[in-house]
A and B are shown apart, each in its own frame.
Chain A
Amino acid sequence: MSIQKILIQYEPVPENVLRAVKDVNRHNGYLSENDCEEIAKYFSWPLARIYSLASFFDEIRIKKDRKIIIKVCSGGPCLMEKSQAVTRQIEMLLKLEAENDGSPKYKLELMSCKGLCDRGPIVMIGDQIFEKVNPENIDDIIKDYL
C-alpha cells in the first residue's frame, strides 16, 4: 500500500500522528526518510518532530533491518519459568550471543514484559509471539518459523 493511501485514513490532528507512524511502520517494516517526510507534510509538522517520535519507540524502526530478530522476555516471572535456559538454547542453535549484533542473519535480544506473564516464558520472532516456550520446544519453533 502506498504511503498516501495509509495517511488518507487519518484526519491530520496530533493524536493521529503516532497512529499513522505505527501504521506505516507495520506496512513497510520500517520508516524510510521519504516516509517521514511524507508524514511530516501530511500533518504539517517539521520533519524533526516525526523523527523524534519514531526513534523513541523500540518497535518503530527507522532503518531497514534484514536480520531476523528474536526476543526473549527477561522479566521476573519469565525468569522463574527458565527463560534463561531458552536464551542459552537459542544461542547454541543459531551460534550467536544475546545482545551482541555480530551475527549476519539473526539478532537475539532480551525484551521487556509484554504482560503475558501467566503464559511465559514469552519469545517473539519478528512480530509473532510464542507462549510457554521451553528449551525443548524452542528448536522446533525457530525451525518452523524460518
Chain B
Amino acid sequence: MILLKIISKRFMQILTKNWDKIDPFHIDTYARSGGYEALRKVIREMTPESVVKEIKISGLQGRGGAGCPTALKWESAAKTKAQDKYFICNLDESEPGVYKDRTIAEKSPHQIIEGMIIGAYAIGAKKGFIYINGHYEKSAEILTVAIKQALEKEFLGKGIMGSSFDFEIEIFRGSGAYICGEETALINTIEGKRGEPRLKPPYPVNSGLFGKPTVVNNTETLVNIPFIISRGAKIFSGIGMKNSPGTKLFLLEGAVKSKGIFEAPLGTSVQELIYNSIYGGGLEEGKEFWFAQIGGASGRLMTAGNLDQLLVYGPAEYPLGCGSILVVDKSMDLKDFLVSWSGFFHRESCGKCVPCREGTFRLHEIAKRIRNNDLLPDDQERLEDILWTLGNTTFCPLGNFAATAWKDAIRIFGDKIFKAA
C-alpha cells in the first residue's frame, strides 16, 4: 500500500518534477534529469502525424482556462497548408491570483522550450514566439538564457539534432493588458496592433499571426508534452479523470494555512485542496470559511455546501479556469471584492465592443455606490440589466467573466448587498 502511494505520488509530478532540482540557468542539469529525451525520440523515431496522434490519445486539454483539446489545435494547424506557420507559447498570464506560468518559467524553462519544439515539429512551424507578460522580468531573463543554451546544443536553430527540421524561438514581451492572454488579441499585439480580440472563425490554426496558421498554447499545457512523449500517452491519460486527464497546478491563496502552488491530479475536490495537509492544510488559525473563488477574478464563488465538487476541464458547474482557489474567510467585506472585480474588468476591458466597455464602467460605478452605502433606488434593476448584457452580448468572453462572480455574489449574498443600502 505504501509502495503504491509512492508510485502514484511520483506519477503525479509531471509539471513540478524538476522544480528546485535543476538549475534554470544550466541546460545540463535539465538534460541530466531526462530533459530533451522526448525531443530526441520525436526527431529520431516519430513523424509529425504520430506526434499529433500521441497527444490526441493522451487527451491533453489546454491549461489556459478554456480546456480545448490540444491535439485539436495541432491537427488543424498541421493540416492547413502554408509556407510559414507559427507556434506561440502564451506566457501572458494576468488573471488576478495566478502566477503558475511565471513559476514554471523560473524553475524549469527548458521544459517549456522542449514542449514548444515538439509542437512546432508536429505542425511544421519554423518560427515560434514566447509571449511573456511585460512584468515578468526574471522569467524573460531566464528564458533568454535557456534559448541561447538550447541553440548551442542544437536543440534549436537550423538542422535540429542532425535532422532537416529548423525552428527558432523569439521572446516577445507584452505590455500589461489582461485581454492579451486571449489568443487572437495576443496575435494582434505581436503584429503591432491594438490588443483587441478578432472575430472567430477564422481560427488562428487556419489564419493566425500574419495570416498564417498559428498554434497558441498555454505554458502549462506545453510542459506536459515532454512527459507524454517519453512516458507514453496511455500513462498520462491514466492520471486524473477519464475525460480530463493529467495533473494541474492549483494555486491556493487567501485564508489557507499553506499558500502557494500545488500539483494535483485533475478531479481533485476543492475540499481536499483546501483541507488536506499535503495541500492547503485548512484555514489559518481563528479564521472561518466563507466562500472560495475558483479561477481568479473571472471565477465562480463556491460556498461550503459545494466544496465536494471535483475540479475538471470540460463541462462543469464550477469551471476550474486557470486553477486558482482564493479562500475567503468571514472577516472580509464582500463589498471590497465587488469593487475589486468590477474595477479590474473596467480597467482591462479593451473597448472594442460597447456592451463590455460601457457595461464594466457602469458596473464599477454601482460597485462604488454599494461600497459607499449610497445606492440609488433603481440600482438593483440596473445591475440585473447590466449583468445580463455582459453575460450574453459581448464580443469575447471577457464580458462574461466580468459578470460571473457578480452573479454568484448577488444570488448567494444578495440580501446583504442590497439591505445595507
Q: Is the CB of B136 within 8 A of A76?
A: no
Is B320 an interface residue when CB atoms closer than 8 A count as contact?
Answer: no
Chain B 161-203, CB-CB to A under 8 Å as 1, else 0, gives: 0000000001011011110000000000111111110000000
Residues of B324-358 whose CB lies within 8 A of A: 326, 328, 332, 336-337, 339-340, 343-344, 347-348, 350
Chain A 7-27, CB-CB to B under 8 Å as 1, else 0, gives: 000000011111100100000
Q: Which residue of A lies closest to B326 (CB)?
A: A76
Residues of A within 8 A of B175 (CB): 18, 22, 57, 59-60
Q: Which residue of A lies closest to B191 (CB)?
A: A14
Q: Is the CB of B190 within 8 A of A15?
A: yes
Q: Which residue of B lies closest to A111 (CB)?
A: B347
Q: How many residues of B contact A (CB 8 A)?
A: 50
Residues of B within 8 A of A114 (CB): 135
Interface-central residue, A17, A19, A79, A113, by most chain B CB under 10 Å:
A113
Q: How far is the CB of B408 from chain A (nearest CB, A)?
A: 14
Is B94 an interface residue when CB atoms closer than 8 A count as contact?
Answer: yes
Q: Is the CB of B332 within 8 A of A115?
A: no
Q: Give the interface segment out of B77-85, B227-235, B253-261, B392-400.
A: B253-261
Given known pairs A18-B175, A52-B194, A117-B251, the reply for A112 and B96 (CB within 8 Å) is yes
Is B216 an interface residue when CB atoms closer than 8 A count as contact?
Answer: no
Q: Which residue of A lies closest to B327 (CB)?
A: A80
Is A53 an interface residue when CB atoms closer than 8 A count as contact?
Answer: yes
Residues of A within 8 A of B114 (CB): none
Q: Is the CB of A112 within 8 A of B178?
A: yes
Q: Is the CB of A77 within 8 A of B253?
A: yes
Q: How many residues of A contact B (CB 8 A)?
A: 34
Can you list 22 A-B pairs with a CB-CB distance of less than 8 A? Answer: A15-B190, A15-B192, A16-B192, A17-B192, A18-B192, A22-B175, A52-B193, A52-B194, A56-B195, A57-B176, A74-B339, A74-B343, A75-B340, A75-B344, A76-B296, A76-B337, A80-B255, A112-B96, A112-B176, A113-B96, A117-B97, A117-B99
Given known pairs A14-B192, A15-B190, A118-B99, the reply for A76 and B173 (CB within 8 Å) is no
Q: Identify the 10 closest CB pairs spanning chains A and B, nearest first.
A: A75-B96, A17-B192, A113-B96, A57-B175, A80-B254, A77-B253, A56-B194, A115-B99, A14-B192, A76-B326
Residues of A within 8 A of B136 (CB): 115
Contact residue among A16, A17, A22, A77 (Cβ-Cβ distance under 8 Å from B326): A77
Is B210 an interface residue when CB atoms closer than 8 A count as contact?
Answer: yes
Residues of A within 8 A of B328 (CB): 76, 80
Q: How far is the CB of A87 from chain B (nearest CB, A)?
A: 10
Residues of B within 8 A of A16 (CB): 192
Q: Is the CB of B337 within 8 A of A115?
A: no
CA distance A84 to B334 in the complex (A): 12
Q: Which residue of B lies closest to A74 (CB)?
A: B340
Q: How far is the CB of B351 from chain A (nearest CB, A)?
A: 8
Chain A 46-76, CB-CB to B under 8 Å as 1, else 0, gives: 0001001100111110000000000000111
Is A96 an interface residue when CB atoms closer than 8 A count as contact?
Answer: no
